[in-house]
Amino acid sequence: MATNVKILLKNPGMRTIDREITSSTLLHLMILLILGASLLFINLGSRPLEGSEGRWGEAAKEMLQSGNYIVPQINAMPYRDKPVGSYWLIVLASLPGGKVTEWSARLPTAAATLLSIFLLYIIARAFWDEKTAFLSALIFMTTFSLLRWSRTANADTLTIAGMLGSVYFFVKSRAHPEKGTWLYSFFIIAAVTSLMKGLLGFVLPSLAVFPYLLLKNRDIFFKKRFLFHLMAASIIGGGLFLIPFYLDYHATHSDMSLYLVFKENILRFFKPFDHKKSFFFYFYYIFITLSPWTLLLPFLIWSLKKHGLKKDEGVFFSALWFATLFTFFTLSGSKRGYYILPVIVPFSALLGFFISDTFSSTKHSRAELRTWFFPGTVCLLSGITLLFLLLFHPRFFAAYVPHWITPYLYTLMGCLFLAAVSIPMAYRQRLTRAFILLFAGFYLLQGITFDFIITADAKRDPFVPFCKKVNIATKGGKLAVFHSADQSTLYFYLNEPPPVACFYLPDLARDFLLFHRHSYLIVKGEDDLSRLRLLLKHFKIVLKEASNDPKAFLLITLPKKADLQGKKEKRP
């Protein structure tokens, strides 16, 4: 209890979430709504689904068509790699239009990010003042990695929103956490979040809250009342999480969905079977995750060193939150760049606090600012030079610069230019102007990049026009696919009702063409086509994806004469 008294003395008049909502609070929320919506929703459905988005879109599409909302399916085959919650949200977003589209598939993730912006503002406001909360939310919404994944169909931003939702109920009751009633809301939201992408829904908010309680008020874990609520709430949350798995088992008599939760979460953490990276992977990838605000990391480190961690409750909570999340993801055996997205939340809160504190503090000595001014300027100029070479590359760079990355490089170079201009302004004590310039520049550059440049580039993708032509050309015929890789995006855009026949062996694909009249086969790339050439002497290319990619899709069939003669040929 002595520790709690110490905190209260250092935070006189402890702020709470329930304190009076002022006109400035409403103004901040309105500005965040307008800015966040413009970054997240403009041209959200203008790009075709790509990569893993196809799995979310196709699973939700087949749910809507079949009425089976318990077992996700892709091409009429069970797909249980992820829990059903994220598919339910896509189905819900698709109900007004009656079908799953690019817009409805991405709407839940974009809406979850918008909700996260509001939740971060409310949580930061509970620790600090409204200006600090507003700055934290602005930094959060203009983080490049967050925006990129918020405009795709996935479950990662849903996990972030759920994590913030659980933390919200703790922060709301942090003055008297020993009462324990907040734990029920905490674990219920964690259970719902876990139905989106697995056990992270329980783990992430627990990493934010329980280490903090252990360090600040460890006696709470010896109180019977708190332990009772903790056990009861965790049982309720766990039971709620298991309901869809019970329904799946009752319908199919298969426990595969629960096994895959174990495989994709626990086994992947301790004994990874894919996405194996170096232990230090996140030590350098964190700079990409936090960009473009990584540019202010020297300032953040300088501020942490100057203020310390224990002088402010919010700083201690956010720094510990960041440290526990980063440690957890670093210790995981399986690593991917977007796994670490949740660390953006505490980083934004910390950076928002120190920028706000700098605005309101007395003038800093020039000697202190020089410690990060000159190294920062040198790094920025070096980064600008490197990006200039990558964008307007000589021949020796050409083979290493993919075409799709160009819009991102332009955005990053623009951010570096802005920072190079802002740092001298900060050096001359014009800190408010420097931040306004930085935020406005980051907002405009990323808005233009995500809302327009990438969208315009994606519209030139020949994949969707190819699928539309396939739907017209194969109307009234039989269609199959010959390729061993995941083709969920292809199934999403085809009108052929599932299951679409899919062959992994060339002799089966050949037999399909030979023994079915008006049959068509989609082949991916010249490699698969050459495998068929060994078995088929004659075939006709009906359509070809308008791309120079050697893995472009083709639609083939047999000429009528070859079809008739093929049936007479002896099968090898």
Which DSSP string corresponds to 75-87? TTEE--SS-SHHH
Residue 103 shares a structural domain with residue 241: yes
Highest mean pLDDT, choosing among 35-39, 76-80, 454-458: 35-39
pLDDT over 90 percentage in the chain: 43
Selection from 199, 207, 217 nearest residue 346 by Cα:
207
Q: Sort strands 519-524 and 478-482 into parallel, antiparallel or unpaired.
A: parallel
Residue 336 shares a structural domain with residue 444: no
Q: Is residue 439 part of a domain?
A: yes
Residue 338 shares a structural domain with residue 417: no
Give the residue-averaged pLDDT of 99-103. 95
Q: Is residue 19 part of a domain?
A: yes
Residue 292 shares a structural domain with residue 203: yes
Q: Is residue 139 part of a domain?
A: yes
Q: Does 566 have pLDDT greater than 70? A: no
pLDDT of residue 409: 61
Q: How confident is the model at residue 408 (pLDDT cuts 50, 70, 90)?
A: low
Mean confidence (pLDDT) of the chain: 83
In terms of residues, how long is the chain? Answer: 572
Residue 429 shares a structural domain with residue 540: no
Q: Does 403 have pLDDT greater than 80? A: no
Q: Write the CB contacts of 315 (distance below 8 Å, at least 6 apart in sequence).
A: 304, 307, 309, 350, 353
Give the residue-averaged pLDDT of 438-450. 80
Q: How confident is the model at residue 327 (pLDDT cuts 50, 70, 90)?
A: very high
Contact (CB, 8 A) for 244 and 70 = yes
pLDDT over 70 percentage in the chain: 81
**By 3-state DSSP, what share of the chain in percent is helix, strand and coil, each rounded to 5?**
70, 5, 25
Residue 437 shares a structural domain with residue 454: yes
Q: Does 4 have pLDDT greater than 50? A: no
Q: Is residue 330 part of a domain?
A: yes
pLDDT of residue 476: 82
Chosen domain end from 460, 484, 504:
460
Give the residue-averaged pLDDT of 68-89. 92
Which pTM value belongs to this model? 0.86
To 5 degrees, how large is the angle CA 547–CA 336–CA 234?
A: 130
pLDDT in tens, 167-208: 999 999 988 888 889 999 999 999 999 999 889 999 999 999
Q: Which of 9-23, 142-156, 271-285, 531-545 has the lowest mean pLDDT?
A: 9-23
Give the residue-averaged pLDDT of 376-398. 52
Rounded Cα distance, 286 and 341, in Å: 9
pLDDT of residue 214: 93
Residue 310 shares a structural domain with residue 264: yes
Q: Is residue 562 part of a domain?
A: no
Q: Is residue 564 part of a domain?
A: no
Q: Does 362 have pLDDT greater than 70? A: no
Residue 220 shares a structural domain with residue 232: yes
Give the residue-averaged pLDDT of 309-317. 85
- Number of structural domains (the chain) is 3
pLDDT of residue 51: 85
Give the start-end residues of each E strand in 518-557: 519-524, 540-544, 553-557
pLDDT of residue 411: 59
Token pair of 351 as six digits: 């950076």
Selection from 103, 111, 51, 52 nearest residue 81 by Cα:
52
Q: Write the CB contacts of 95 (distance below 8 Å, at least 6 apart in sequence).
A: none
Token pair of 221 as six digits: 């874990």
Residue 316 shares a structural domain with residue 441: no
b/e burial code for range 217-240 (CB count within 10 A of at least 16 → b): beebeeeeebeebbeebbeebeeb
Q: How confident is the model at residue 6 (pLDDT cuts 50, 70, 90)?
A: very low
Residue 87 shares a structural domain with residue 178: yes
Chosen domain end from 430, 460, 490:
460
Q: Is residue 518 part of a domain?
A: yes
pLDDT in tens, 478-497: 999 988 667 899 999 998 88
Q: Does 9 have pLDDT greater than 70? A: no
Q: How confident is the model at residue 323 (pLDDT cuts 50, 70, 90)?
A: very high
Q: Does 471 have pLDDT greater than 50? A: yes
Residue 18 shares a structural domain with residue 153: yes
Which CATH number fits the domain that encloses residue 530? Answer: 3.30.110
Rounded Cα distance, 572 and 570, in Å: 6
Chosen domain end from 400, 432, 460:
460
Residue 442 shares a structural domain with residue 488: no
Helix axes 102-127, 23-41, angle to 10 degrees: 150
- Which range of residues forms the domain containing residue 428? 366-460
Q: Is residue 74 part of a domain?
A: yes
374 or 421: which carries more pLDDT confidence? Answer: 421
pLDDT of residue 540: 86
